Structure 1
Amino acid sequence: MGQGDQPMGYPPPVSYGPPQPEYPPSGGGGYPQAGYAQQPPAGYPMPGSYPPPQAHPLPHMAPQAGPHHKPPPPGNFSGYDQEAAQAAANAGSFAEALVRKQFVRKVFSLVFLQLCITIGVASCFIFVDAVREYVRPGGDGQWVFIVSWVLSLVMLIGLTCSTRIRRKHPWNLVALFAFTLVESVLVGTICAYWQSSVVLEAFAVTGAAVAGLTLVAVFGKFDITKKGHILGMAAGVVLMVLLVTLLIGFFYVNKWWYLAISVVVALLFAAFLVYDIQMVMGGRANAISPDEYVYASVQIYMDIIIIFLQFLNIMGIAQS
């Protein structure tokens, strides 16, 4: 059997690799003749005629655009979003209620200290005869009333109009107790004008009225914070009447007119006391900011002082 002959029963040899191009016979040793376009090998596409890319047969194994463009996982997460929003709302409400409770405690503590200072200072003008006779009308100490009245008015305007004075700690507390001390002297000089029995009766009635108004403000179902504009207009009208009365008082004094004005002012500031307490307690249409504890203390304290002075005036005029 010669070389190149295949033995009987064996398959022909298999050629590996791409098929060889078949060129037309030429004398150029296998190269195409001149003038003929060169043809690509059989089975290879022409340049520029590659087929369009096909979709990946396995979509979950297809290449991704990048880590920043991954599609969201399948499923509905709206339930989880609602639970998270509800949890955040509950946490915010709890924190706000805690801050409001601390604010209420701080305001009423300050008001209690202010009233204790006022009672202590005023007692000196009521029960110490030398001090009482010195500041009464006709005595040498009438300047105490004038000076304390002017200072209390200036300090009250400063505390209510300047946020820097009433918010900068601890100077806001210093200003608050300085104002309380001056106001206490003013109240003491006014109490010195009346008999001790009248002052004590006015004090008892004021205490009962303030306790009742506080219970109404805290447990009442109505919301007086919506009526702030009405209270403001009523206060403006009363202020104008007081100014006219002050001018007329230099020429003519009618005790019944003063009695009527005292009743109106007492009722007005009783409404203001309920309004201010509800503003401090919160949970109404309007509420005062927890940062304004000095301002809130001044408002409630002045409501109580003015109510007391009006009761003192009413009882003093009635008994005289």
Structure 2
Amino acid sequence: MNRNDNYERFNENESAILFSDKTIRRGFIRKVYALLLAQLIVTCIFITIFLYVPEVKLASRQYPGIYIAALVGTFVLIIALTCFEGLRRKWPLNIIMLGVFTLFEGWLLGSISSYYGKDEVLMAVGITTIIVFSLSIFAFQTKYIIFDTQMMMGGDKKYSLSPEEYIFAALTLYLDIVNLFLYILQLINHSNN
């Protein structure tokens, strides 16, 4: 019996027991937030390029096929990473797939951001950063407050992750942040118009 077979039989009680171990919990959080930070840095680089390099902005508008390919790639990778445990647990395939997903998502967010004003995008990035940082600090200081943190840390909840699910946890938090950013960007745009 190999290590992956053990995790296929993973249940909520085992998750709670493992996450009660401080070393395992800290290691899990460290992996998730390191991946999340890398994803956010890549995304910010894409947004910056689309905002400040006119040729890239123009190319993204002239060749919508690239945007569509990135959109399709994003959906395919989300489905693959969420539906197939083996893909998101098998190293280095899981990191590669998360990296490619992040590149696709970075392209999409950069392209979307290019349709807004620079000040609006920067304000949305700033507000999103403050909210995410505040919620993260709050989640670490309080037990089981934010749903995705609850899901990551297990416990008596219906949905929980094993400590080996750091790719899925990073993906989930990243998508939460992306959605928050897009929502804030739309609010800022509407308030300015």
Which residue of structure 1 aligns with residue 169 of structure 2? 296
TM-score between both structures, scaled by the size of structure 2 = 0.83
Is contact 2:47-2:113 (8 Å) kept?
yes
Query: Is 1:218 aligned to 2:143, yes or no?
Result: no
Which residue of structure 2 aligns with residue 100 of structure 1? 25
Any unmatched runs of 5+ in structure 1? 1-91, 225-273
Structure with the greater alpha carbon radius of gyration: 1
- Which amino acid counterpart does residue 194 of structure 1 have in structure 2? Y
Which residue of structure 1 aligns with residue 192 of structure 2? 319
Which residue of structure 2 aligns with residue 278 of structure 1? 150
Give matches, 1:1-320, under 5 Å.
96-136=21-61, 140-220=62-142, 223-224=144-145, 274-280=146-152, 282=153, 284-286=155-157, 287-320=160-193
Tell me, in whole angstroms, the C-alpha distance in 1 between the residues paired with 2:191 and 2:66: 27
Distance 1:93 1:308, change over 3 A: closer
RMSD value, Cα? 2.0
| Residues 192-247 of structure 1, C-alpha deviations (whole Å, 9 max, x = no match) | 111111100000010111112112222235x44xxxxxxxxxxxxxxxxxxxxxxx
Is contact 1:144-1:189 (8 Å) kept?
no
Tell me, in whole angstroms, the C-alpha distance in 1 between the residues paired with 2:65 and 2:189: 23
Tell me, in whole angstroms, the C-alpha distance in 1 between the residues paired with 2:151 and 2:91: 22
TM-score between both structures, scaled by the size of structure 1 = 0.51
Q: How many residues align?
A: 175
Is contact 1:276-1:299 (8 Å) kept?
yes
- Sequence identity percentage: 34
Tell me, in whole angstroms, the C-alpha distance in 1 between the residues paired with 2:46 and 2:148: 25
- Which amino acid counterpart does residue 116 of structure 2 have in structure 1? W
- Runs of 4+ aligned residues of structure 1 deviating over 6 Å after TM superposition are 92-95
Tell me, in whole angstroms, the C-alpha distance in 1 between the residues paired with 2:93 and 2:174: 19
Tell me, in whole angstroms, the C-alpha distance in 1 between the residues paired with 2:19 and 2:45: 39
| Residues 165-214 of structure 1, C-alpha deviations (whole Å, 9 max, x = no match) | 10111111111101111110011110011111110000001011111211
Tell me, in whole angstroms, the C-alpha distance in 2 between the residues paired with 1:94 and 1:163: 19
Tell me, in whole angstroms, the C-alpha distance in 2 between the residues paired with 1:194 and 1:135: 14
- Which amino acid counterpart does residue 31 of structure 2 have in structure 1? K
Higher relative contact order (CA 8 A, sep 6+): 2
Tell me, in whole angstroms, the C-alpha distance in 2 between the residues paired with 1:98 and 1:115: 25
